[in-house]
Structure 1
Amino acid sequence: MRALSSWACDPAHSRGRLHPEERAALRGPRDEYQRDRDRIIHSIPFRRLRHKTQVFVAPDGDHFRVRLTHSLEVAQIGRTIARALGLNEDLTEALCLAHDIGHPPFGHSGEEALQAATVAAGGFDHNAHTLRVLMKVEKPYPRFDGLNLTWETLEGLAKHNGPVANPSWAMTEANAAFPLELGSWPSLEAQVAAVADDIAYDNHDIDDGLRAGLLSREQIMEVPLVARGWRTAAERYPDISERRLLSELVRSQIGLMVNDLIAETRRRIREAGVRSVEDVRAAGHALVGFSHAMQAEERELKAFMYRELYHHPRQLAASEAAAVMVSGLFAAYSADPGALPDGWRETLPPEEPERSRHIADFIAGMTDRYAIARYRERVGPIDLPEGF
């Protein structure tokens, strides 16, 4: 076992789980964070990520990324950074693998539609819904709801993007059940998971955008960071195909970002005088991050991706269809709750807002293809743009 830095989360000093578990019921020689990671991997919500949108809604091509493959790529990047910084790799991996479990079908388009449909019931937020799924909605164990994850894993999922100043109703409910100190910064493992997510989609979405024909090589050369990486790859490998150069570009750009992040984070830890996990939470600012130069280039890359890929006309058409389906499903099940599957119908709360939140839980758990099938079954036909 690798030695942990003094500022890493130590499973031997975990704050524990909401529901105490008998040692006799625990299986295998695993520590607390290893158990959390394994519970996430073996969960149904994690398996459903293989049919949930990453960039493209219900893509036809087998080579496009989905939420599951994205989460695995985030975990690989997160573990690499965690190891270099002496952090707990298992906790980092658990956070990376679980960070998108709360996403409804059709990605951010589905989330926005579900938020609009449930505004009278308090709205919907995928990050808070991750906590709701892992603490309440899933019920694989005999004596408690949820996966009963450790405090550190739940805290990291709640705050991986920083302190939560204005928690939603779902986050407030989770925090009331198991106080997560929402006003403080999370562990370095959680901070690593957040930036690993950015690194993964910043680079892999370029790959998918080119593969789908929504981006061209000429377009991506508008981004100085990408153009510089492409020139370096082309000079190193002058005789290989453009397709293979693209793969080299993505790999080298991820490496560039990871190395910058590690160096900058070490500098911040040193200058902040951090010696413990408590120092991390009390620092008052993020300790994991890019240098100023890389941060500026990464923001420029993000702006390009939003302009040219995420807001591409084909993507906007797909998003519009996704919003119609999610809104239509919510309206259909609200009007006729008897159409819910047996388990969901039998546990439907009689009063609002719990009733609408229960229906939203059901819809949020749908995969893209299941949502499409249920819409056609409950609402009617829908013309889906190219790519579905």
Structure 2
Amino acid sequence: MIPYGSQDISQADIDAVVAALQSDFLTQGPQVPLFEQTVASHVGAKHALAVNSATSALHIACLALGLGPGDWLWTTPVTFVASANCGLYCGAQVDFVDIDPRTYNLCPKALESKLLAAQKSDKLPKVVVAVHLSGQPCDMTAIRVLGQKYGFKIIEDASHAIGGKYKGEPIGNGRYSDITVFSFHPVKIITTAEGGMALTNSDELAVHMGLLRSHGITRDTAQMTHAPDGPWYYQQIGLGFNYRMTELQAALGLSQMQRLDIFVARRHQLAQRYDQLLAALPVTTPWQQTDSYSGLHLYIIRLKLDKICKTHRQVFESLREQGIGVNLHYIPIHTQPYYQRMGYKMGDYPQAEKYYAEAISLPMYHTLSYIQQDQVVAALQRALAV
């Protein structure tokens, strides 16, 4: 089976993890801050906070921005459920904005229309989570302008996008958002096994997220209510969580960061080759913004169902039967039973639903060979045949 995604673990990665395992610290040692500094420097952000998952990063980002009961979080329906669930964790309500039919990201025009209506009913969002699906950045210029006009905070869910660029600058630099979140899950561009990171240029947000990831505890005397009782002293000054990343994970991430640019460049080679190999088939290949450099976590095609005699499911199942581990990213969140119990229903977001009826994620990862890629394309040709 050729998977849709796969980690690339080198001997250097293994050696880095073994060195951490043999060190004096398995957690709360030097590797985590070094990993944070490395990622922050690479993308041009002031602060980076490593956590145990991107979901945790989204959660503490929302809390640091003051999201709570009575507030609204808006995001795209075409994303993993964590992009929306993070709002519910805070006691807020969640709503969605339909996607752009070319980029599959949150549509700025749809966002503006929804904001105009929400302003009249006094239900403007406090936070908008802009998800860079597949690694292609959203139209962050337009979203930022709307944020300034309507007063909402912006989180970039860049779980797919480390190593990508927007308008020539690294995604994660915070120019267009308050907080950016990366994921280091094994199928992502680089991995720490499980793990995530929140990046910001705000000192205040960084301090707040730092407290939230570790039980609300501080050893910083400037944050304490009184002088320390002794060198052992710490204070819990808020309610936080155990969202820390381990030293082993950070060591792996540090090693992987050395090859980040290589990984992304290889993904672009594979994507360009896919574009050429699929040009004559009845599928829509990914459209790329000219001012963006995608992280290319995913390569998503859309079937031209009016030009083939197979259903979406038949094509998908045929590929799986031929040993191609395709996937579908994602089932629109508003169609999930949990969210439908909140009142969402089919028909609410037509572009997202049309996308779901046609989309298939083909294998895309650094070590995918041209021979394997040819096998994927040949299998797709067979799956599409009458």
Q: Which has the higher helix share?
A: 1
TM-score (norm 1): 0.26
Structure with greater strand share of residues: 2
TM-score normalised by the chain length of structure 2: 0.26
